[in-house]
Amino acid sequence: MHRLGLEYHTPHVIPRKLNVEKQKAFTESYGKLLKSLPDSEAVVFVGAVHPTHVARPAGRWASRQEKLAIEQTGGRQRINIHGAIDLETGQTRMIDVLTIDAASRSVPHPELVEGLESIEALYPLLPLIHEALLVATACSTPPEGRARWTLKLLAGAMVKLTGYDGQSRETVRRRLAENELKPWRKDMWCIPQIDGNYVARMEDVLGLYAGKPDPKRPVVCFDESPTQLIGEVRQPIPAAPGQLERYDCEYRRNGTVNLFVFLDAHRP
């Protein structure tokens, strides 16, 4: 073969050219980012590929002047994969999708949404942490100059606390409803000043309630409440099938009275 001017060629695989300086800068910034992340955040690397079965380069006898080149071929229909990996924990997520194109990466494509939901499943505690932050914020003192928290204020506060690009008021409303929170409402309550005297008086009262009933010494509780007497200016419209009773918004003031209520603790 050598006398015929032939020699055995093996194609060389040329690696991609990488920028070492950019790699070093990225590694340093990635390390700084990991150190500054709160417990409620994580870094995930996401990519999309479409691997195929390709022809492998092999050697053959050819002329010294002949340059060998082969065209890539697929041994099967190509597949499309969205994948993500957390380098700190090694957790991965991969899904097989129909297409990988500009549309699947730039708009809320169903396959992209599926991939993001799959990544979110890796971190089940993140939504809980964010919900706990929302609850704690809603139960705290509102910002200076504000009398109460509103959905808009809470949404803005969550953006600052979590680093989200945005937070809808509807999402905040649902989370508050799930936790039975209405921060824009207040309830008047008797807040006692608990000290030794208060506890002693409380024990005296509870002792009376817990004692054995004595017909000669009944335990009677009473309270009073001022009540406003109101009269109708116009006759109300009685209720009917499919309609509630209706009364006019205008009323007549007939003074006030004090209402006293007495209750036997042992014969409620």
- 118 phi and psi angles, rounded to 5 deg: -65, -40
State residue 97's pLDDT score. Answer: 65
Contact in structure between 10 and 68 (CB atoms under 8 Å): no
Q: Of 82, 101, 120, which closes a domain?
A: 120
Query: Does residue 183 lie in a domain region?
Result: no
- Please identify, among 53, 88, 120, the residue that sits at the C-terminal boundary of a domain: 120
Residue 152, in any domain of the structure: yes
Is residue 54 pLDDT above 80, yes or no? no
| Residue 112 belongs to some domain of the structure | yes
Please report which confidence band the pLDDT of residue 104 belongs to, taking 50, 70 and 90 as the band edges: very low
More confident residue, 203 or 13: 203
Task: Tell me which residue range forms the domain holding 132.
Answer: 125-178
Identify the band that residue 169 occupies on the pLDDT scale cut at 50, 70 and 90.
Answer: confident
Q: Which of 17-26, 56-65, 164-173, 178-187 has the lowest mean pLDDT?
A: 56-65
For residues 105-117, average pLDDT = 57
pLDDT in the model for residue 107: 44
Q: Are residues 61 and 159 in the same domain?
A: no
Residues 84 and 45 in one domain: yes
In a domain, 186, yes or no: no
C-alpha span between 101 and 112 (Å, rounded)? 11
pTM of the model: 0.39
Cα distance between residue 65 and residue 7, in whole Å = 10
pLDDT band at 48 (very low <50, low <70, confident <90, very high): confident
Helices (H), 4-124: 20-36, 102-106, 110-120
96 and 65 in a common domain: yes
103 and 79 share one domain: yes
Do residues 75 and 131 both lie within one domain? no
Number of domains within the chain: 3
Domain boundary among the residues 178, 213, 248 is at 178
Residues 14 and 79 reside in one and the same domain: yes
Co-location of 15 and 111 in the same domain: yes
Same domain, 114 and 156: no
Residues 221 and 208 in one domain: yes
**Residue at 187 is within a domain:** no
Burial 211-236 (b: 16+ CB within 10 A, else e): eeeeeeeeeeeeeeeeeeeeeeeeee
Is 164 among the domain residues?
Answer: yes
Residue 188 lies in a domain: no
Angle between helices 151-162 and 169-178 (to 10 degrees): 100
- pLDDT-derived band at 265 (thresholds 50, 70, 90) equals confident
196 pLDDT tier (thresholds 50, 70, 90): confident
Q: Are both 140 and 115 inside the same structural domain? A: no
Higher local confidence (pLDDT), 67 or 210: 210
Question: Would you say residue 10 lies in a domain?
Answer: yes
- Looking at residues 66-83, what average pLDDT do you find? 62
Residue range 54-80: mean pLDDT, rounded: 62
Q: Are residues 112 and 22 in the same domain?
A: yes
Are residues 105 and 156 both part of a single domain? Answer: no
Q: What is the mean pLDDT of residues 12-40?
A: 77
pLDDT (average), residues 3-23: 71
